[in-house]
Amino acid sequence: MPYPVFVRLSAILAAAAVMSVPLASSVLADADCSGVAGHVPADGDLTAFAVPAAGLDAFMNASPMANGMKFRSELRDRDLWLDVVEFPSDTSGLAGAVSLMAIGRVAADEFDRLILADGEEGVFEIANGDLRAVGCRFLWGQETEEAPFAQIVELFQGLRSYEGHARVTPELSGNLMHDMTVTLETHNGPFVDGWLRSAVK
């Protein structure tokens, strides 16, 4: 059965609908992203730095932000490992990126790198600072001045290979359409095939 993980430029317009699901209520801590430029304050399920690593997978698995995906997370020293263990056939193509931005906002500040894993094997990594720079500006179910896909483009600028730490997406060119296209190529290629589809055996 094909999985709808590939995204075309025309699908970007649907991203706002993906991000308009009402929030459930759960507040775990009082923290904020005030040290991050352009941060947007929020509470409830988007309270910044509120979810400890030990409960991150349970939080995301119960959240509409994951769009049906299931994760397994584990803190190893200062690395937070995240593995996709279920990827339903009706999951949105942008759900993986949306989940990472959500984690960049809500995860407690206990890690230096987020490792995107396939079981015990690291696939990609993103530094805490790069993840927070996007996550602290990300809101789910609330309007902001910033387009969600612009945040996804920035998120993918911080993505690195786990082995060798090489850049996965080319540097921004300054041409919006070109940068969006290149980001989608990274998303639809190595991000999907190398990580999201690891849950589809």
Which of 2-6, 52-56, 66-70 comes out lowest in average pLDDT?
2-6
Give the DSSP H or E segment for 135. helix 128-135
Which residues make beta-bridge pairs with 82? 73, 116
Cα 35 to Cα 31, 61, 132, 136: the distances in Å are: 11, 28, 10, 9
> Would you say 103 and 56 are in contact if contact means Cβ atoms under 8 Å apart?
yes
The residue type at 75? L
Tokens 């730490």, located at residue: 165
Between CA 105 and CA 136 the distance in angstroms is: 5
Nearest to 113 by CA among 126, 99, 124: 126
Tell me, what amino acid is at 89? S
Owner of token pair 């979810």:
51
Q: What is the mean pLDDT of the segment spanning 188-198?
A: 89
pTM of this prediction exceeds 0.75: yes
Pairwise CA distance, residues 26 & 147, whole Å: 26
Residue with tokens 């500040």, as numbered in its chain: 109
pLDDT for residue 144: 59
For 63-111, what is each residue's pLDDT tens digit? 988 999 999 999 999 999 999 999 888 888 788 999 999 999 899 989 9
- Tell me, what's the pLDDT at 12? 43
